[in-house]
């Protein structure tokens, strides 16, 4: 795979892409700061369907904003989830009297950021729900464990059906039930001839000339298996269908099919396949699905093209949606009664999005292009707290600790990026570096002059929500919100009617607050010690500090927890998909756990 690009830096590339991509449709508007594309003609009496994720998958998801599909989309950095603040901006951009539904693919960062935005939106009075789509059968039940299947282009079929129903004026509950039923009846798998190359990155995994990878992820994750020598197209399709359609496979038989079930076939070009070969691939898929051993009726709908890409990867994914099974699920499990014909009608609903044509369809006179670009439509959420609950410490010590922690994180970025490239998508180091540099800038501007711990936690919350996407940004966002609230509550309780100075209770206060914050975080992630995640650092740190009432003991436990990830088998996150292919023996440390440890140890070093 070539490393050459027209734009050799990813700096500003996502925003520039969005500006160009929406130009075909005069009803679309771009909130540039938050990378939110929304339909400025959205009918607020309809359900607002909102989706998004990392960039590099275009036309997903900005290319699906418009009539009878998405009301808004939100874009993160390349292969990294958008931040909570971005998602909230998307919800605010398309207020609905009927309600909003967030639809995301099953990646930890997306689930966390959209989940936190869902919680905050409901707290603000929005009627908001969330659907997580996972359709990749290469991540079987044994491998996926608690994570479940990751998301591929099958989600685009879910968005299309939900968009059609919302366009007809269905209620938020009915559209939600429909989306869940359809999402559960999709099986997908991908195959690649080589991995894509990300502009601006040096790390690049490549396949040998005579290899094909099966079960590839859309963020450059290694696949389930490598086939060498490379199979013929006919053999490859047969292999993919066996993974997708064999109901007797206890690990991958996710969807059951009856002889006369009606299906939809979705074939997505990952970005680097020729149209010539894609056409031939669709023909081969249709031939094999209708013959032995499957003998399925020909799909009632076939869609092929750049549905959800992976930059320039010469790869593709195949999805089969069982429409009949979705209708049966609806009739049996909810009050929503949509038939097969209804679901097909929703799927067929005309849009003015990329779905119809990348050139789009104009209605009415075209607006001047400059009017399509909204420079800043940020959600203005002023974080505050009761000053009487604030925890005050020596300003010079606080500044020294923060600078030490930020420097340690920045110095660790090259290793964190390298390790996350091996085990994930390579964004962990840059995510943490971005947060550290933003915090340093705040310290330079006087953040610590008052010695206010409350002010520092508020600033961290703002930085994480506004600048740090990805899985780690989502986890830290939830953690810092909970930590701030619980710490200040603990300070208030400790100050109430007691003679012992609050300063003498600091370890106990921090321990109780960290315990509460971790408890809240567990609502959004099942991760525990031993799963090879950032929790392998955070949990030992909080527990050791709680049992000893000593910060240094907490630091020791955090260091030990991070180091222990070297010998752990991944059980959550993207590493579960790629750990088996990372080679024998010890893996690199989990980058999230190591980054959190470096920050904690940096705080301790600054205190010394």
Q: What is the pLDDT of residues 189-228, one digit of tens each?
A: 999 999 888 887 766 667 888 899 999 888 888 777 899 8
Residue 329 within a domain: yes
Say which residues have a Cβ less than 8 Å from residue 592's Cβ, sequence separation at least 6: 428, 471, 472, 475, 533, 534, 537
- The residue among 309, 343, 361 that closes a domain is 361
Give the mean pLDDT of 566-577.
73
| The domain boundary residue, chosen from 310, 342, 361 | 361
Rounded-to-10 torsion of CA 307, 312, 314, 319? -20
Question: What does the pLDDT average to over 18-31?
Answer: 93
Is residue 16 in a domain? no
As a whole number of angstroms, the distance between CA 601 and CA 439 comes to: 17
Could you write out the DSSP letters of every residue in 176-211?
A: HHHHHHHHTTEEEEEEESS----TT--------TT-
Tell me if 588 is assigned to some domain. Answer: yes
Max CA distance (Å), the chain: 82
Same-domain check for residues 457 and 585: yes
Query: Do 226 and 338 have their domain in common?
Result: yes
Are residues 329 and 278 located together in one domain of the fold?
yes
| Listed ranges 220-229, 249-258, 340-349; the one with the highest mean pLDDT | 340-349
Residue 133's pLDDT band, with cuts at 50, 70 and 90, is very high
Give the alpha-carbon dihedral of 199, 305, 106, 300, to 10 degrees. 180
Among candidate residues 331, 185, 328, 211, the one with its CA nearest the CA of residue 263: 185
Give the CATH number for residue 459. Answer: 1.25.40.340
Q: Which of 197, 204, 219, 275 is catalytic?
A: 219
- What's the CATH number where 217 sits? 3.30.1180.20
Binding site residue list for substrate = 54-57, 110
Statement to judge: residues 331 and 441 lie in one domain: no
Is there a single domain that holds both residue 197 and residue 272? yes
Our answer to whether residue 219 is catalytic in this structure is yes
- pLDDT reading at 360 higher than 70: no
Q: Judge if 491 and 581 occupy the same domain.
A: yes
- 354 occurs within a structural domain: yes
pLDDT at position 240 is 96
In a domain, 20, yes or no: no
Per-residue pLDDT averaged across 17-43, rounded? 94
Tracing tokens 């009301």 back to the chain, one arrives at 71
Q: Average pLDDT of the chain?
A: 86
Mean pLDDT over 25-47 rounds to: 96
C-beta separation of 268 from 154 below 8 A = no
User: Do 220 and 346 belong together in one domain?
Assistant: yes
Asked whether the predicted pLDDT for residue 26 surpasses 80, the reply is yes
Residues 356 and 436 in one domain: no
The contacts of residue 599 (CB under 8 Å, 6+ apart) are 405, 408, 409, 432, 436
pLDDT in tens, 474-497: 888 888 888 888 887 877 777 765
Average pLDDT for 581-608: 81
Q: Has residue 109 been placed in a domain?
A: no
pLDDT for res 293: 93
Number of domains in the chain: 2
Question: Per-residue pLDDT tens for 445-484?
Answer: 999 999 888 888 888 888 887 777 777 788 888 888 888 8
Q: Do 402 and 543 reside in the same domain of the chain?
A: yes
* Residue 412: domain span: 391-607
Specify whether 222 is located in the same domain as 280: yes
Flag whether 450 is in a domain: yes
| 501 and 576 part of one domain | yes
In this structure, is residue 448 part of a structural domain? yes
Based on the fold, state whether residues 337 and 481 are members of the same structural domain.
Answer: no
Domain end marker among 345, 361, 377 = 361
Nearest to 421 by CA among 197, 115, 166, 157: 197
More confident residue, 146 or 236: 236
How confident is the model over 99-131, as pLDDT tens digits? 999 999 998 889 999 999 999 899 888 999 999
């Amino acid at each position: 795979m070539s490393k050459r690009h027209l734009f050799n830096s990813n700096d500003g590339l996502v925003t520039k892409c969005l500006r160009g991509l929406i130009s075909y449709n005069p009803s679309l508007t771009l909130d540039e700061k938050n990378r939110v594309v929304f339909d400025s003609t959205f009918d607020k009496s309809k359900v607002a369907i909102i989706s998004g994720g990392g960039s590099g998958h275009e036309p997903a998801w900005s290319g699906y904003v418009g009539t009878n599909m998405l009301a808004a989309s939100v874009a993160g950095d390349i292969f990294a989830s958008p931040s909570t603040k971005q998602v909230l901006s998307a919800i605010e951009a398309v207020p609905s009297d009927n309600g909003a539904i967030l639809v995301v693919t099953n990646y930890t960062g997306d689930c966390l950021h959209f989940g936190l935005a869902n919680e905050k939106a409901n707290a603000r009075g929005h009627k908001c729900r969330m659907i997580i789509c996972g359709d990749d059968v290469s991540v079987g039940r044994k491998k996926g464990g608690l994570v479940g299947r990751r998301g591929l282009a099958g989600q685009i079929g879910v968005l299309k059906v939900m968009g059609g129903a919302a366009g007809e004026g269905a209620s938020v509950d009915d559209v939600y039930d429909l989306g869940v039923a359809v999402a559960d009846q999709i099986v997908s798998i991908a195959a690649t001839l080589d991995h894509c190359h990300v502009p601006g990155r040096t790390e690049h995994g490549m396949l040998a000339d005579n290899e094909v990878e099966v079960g590839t992820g859309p963020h450059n994750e290694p696949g389930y298996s490598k086939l060498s020598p490379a199979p013929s197209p006919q053999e490859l399709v047969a292999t993919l269908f066996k993974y997708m359609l064999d109901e007797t496979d206890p690990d991958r038989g996710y969807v059951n099919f009856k002889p006369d079930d009606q299906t939809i076939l979705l074939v997505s070009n990952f970005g680097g396949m020729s149209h010539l070969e894609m056409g031939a691939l669709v023909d081969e898929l249709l031939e094999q699905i209708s013959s032995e051993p499957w003998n399925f009726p020909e799909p009632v709908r076939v869609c092929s093209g750049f549905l959800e890409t992976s930059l320039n990867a010469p790869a593709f994914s195949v999805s089969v949606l069982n429409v009949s099974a979705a209708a049966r699920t609806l009739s049996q499990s909810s009050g929503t009664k949509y038939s097969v014909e209804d679901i097909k009608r929703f799927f067929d609903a005309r849009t003015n999005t990329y779905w119809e044509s990348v050139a789009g369809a104009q209605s009415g006179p075209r607006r001047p292009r400059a009017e399509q670009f909204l420079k800043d439509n940020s959600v203005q959420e002023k974080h505050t707290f009761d000053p009487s609950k604030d925890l005050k410490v020596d300003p010079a010590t606080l500044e020294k600790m923060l600078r030490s922690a930020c420097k340690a994180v920045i110095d660790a970025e090259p290793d964190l990026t390298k390790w996350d490239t091996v085990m994930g998508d390579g964004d962990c180091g840059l995510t943490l570096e971005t947060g550290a540099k933003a915090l340093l800038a705040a310290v330079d501007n006087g953040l610590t002059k008052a010695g206010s711990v409350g002010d520092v936690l508020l600033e961290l919350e703002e930085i994480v929500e506004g600048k740090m996407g990805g899985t780690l940004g989502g986890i830290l966002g939830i953690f810092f919100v909970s930590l701030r609230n619980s710490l200040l509550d603990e300070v208030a309780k400790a100050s109430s009617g007691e003679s012992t100075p609050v300063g003498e209770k600091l370890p106990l206060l921090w321990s109780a607050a960290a315990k509460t914050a971790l408890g809240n975080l567990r609502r959004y992630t099942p991760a525990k010690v031993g799963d090879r995640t950032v929790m392998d650092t955070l949990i030992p740190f909080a527990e050791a500090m709680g049992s000893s009432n000593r910060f240094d003991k907490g630091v020791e436990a955090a260091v030990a927890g991070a180091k222990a990830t070297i010998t752990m088998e991944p059980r959550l996150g993207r590493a579960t998909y790629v750990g088996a292919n990372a080679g024998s023996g010890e893996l690199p440390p989990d980058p999230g756990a190591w980054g959190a440890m470096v920050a904690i140890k940096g705080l301790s070093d600054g205190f010394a």
